[in-house]
Amino acid sequence: MDTYKVATVANSTSTMHKLTNKPITLDCFETDDINSDLIYYSIPEYAGGPAENDINMFSELLIEQLEFLRQKYLETKDKRYWKELVRWLPESWLQTRTWTANYETIRAICSPGQRRNHKLNEWSGQDDPSKINFIKWARELPYAQYLIFDDENIPFQIEK
């Protein structure tokens, strides 16, 4: 989102300030489209069972370790625990972000050369159109078909 700076205002929760506020569980991560069929493990302790069990075991161990580091930091206030917690935090960690923009900026984001056909589901939802994504959300805005998606040749009619 930081790519689009024109007429935008943004603020987000800081990992540094919010990471230790609540217990770390699987719900703290973006996991809705994990494809366990694509996971490969060569480590004997993880190999040999269905991939779904492997990814579940891996995520349980990771979350257990992260929560341990969080608890140790809260107990001791030793920044070494916090630093390790941040170091091992996966990219799928969910954070809150508030973002405000005008139609001109949203139009630029939704243009065919930008995010309209993007490979990430969060932008275009190409892999799973049933889920909410930015392009789907933008299509729901008032007058979006005229102000944002006008290149899709929707005829404009003025009511009398």
* Confidence at residue 10, expressed as pLDDT on a 0 to 100 scale: 64
- The answer to whether 106 and 141 have CB atoms below 8 angstroms apart is yes
pLDDT by residue (tens digit) across 107-141? 999 988 888 888 887 888 766 767 778 999 999 99
pLDDT by residue (tens digit) across 40-89? 555 555 555 544 455 677 788 889 999 999 999 999 999 999 999 988 88
Determine the Cα–Cα distance for residues 88 and 25; give it in Å rounded to an integer: 14
Determine the Cα–Cα distance for residues 91 and 75; give it in Å rounded to an integer: 26
* Confidence at residue 77, expressed as pLDDT on a 0 to 100 scale: 95
User: What residue ranges do the domains of the chain occupy?
Assistant: 14-88, 102-152
- Whole-model pTM: value is 0.57
* Confidence at residue 65, expressed as pLDDT on a 0 to 100 scale: 93
